Amino acid sequence: VQLQASGGGLVHIGGSLRLSCAVSGFSLDSYGIAWFRQAPGKEREALSWIRGRGASTYYADSVKGRFTISRDNAKNTVYLQMNSLKPEDTAVYYCARRYWYRSSWSAAREYDYWGQGTQVTVSS
């Protein structure tokens, strides 16, 4: 099982980026994928989750209306489209596979495999 996050970079305030999470070793039909981020000195924050079956989506209040999660099963890839970026969006972004369903989708302990992270920097 592997998850590979990519697409980060430097963007100006108000700009957009699309992150990709390429997965291997399992099917996106069977597992939900979430995006998290962690800024220096801050706790890891859950941003969005897409279900394996049915593809329902969920968002944290901090990104609702600005970020959109989607997936392409044929490409084994989950995306995070990020618009209207703000300096507080600066962080390392991670994708993760949800394995347990014991609590909320936003709990990191629900996830068993994580990508390596991709840096997003929003500057003025």
User: Which amino acid does the sequence have at 55?
Assistant: A
Looking at residue 53, its pLDDT comes to 84
- Strands 77-82 and 67-72, bridge-based pairing: antiparallel
Rounded to the nearest integer, the mean pLDDT of the chain is 96
Which pLDDT tens digit goes with each residue over 45-101? 999 999 988 889 999 999 999 999 999 999 999 999 999 999 999 999 999 999 999
The mean pLDDT of 21-46, rounded to a whole number, is: 96
| Percentage with pLDDT > 70 across the chain | 100
The mean pLDDT of 19-40, rounded to a whole number, is: 96
Which residues, listed in sequence order, are joined to residue 110 by a DSSP beta bridge?
none
Rounded Cα distance, 50 and 46, in Å? 12
Which tokens hold the place of 65? 């209306």
Of 73, 65, 58, give the one whose Cα is nearest residue 105.
Answer: 58
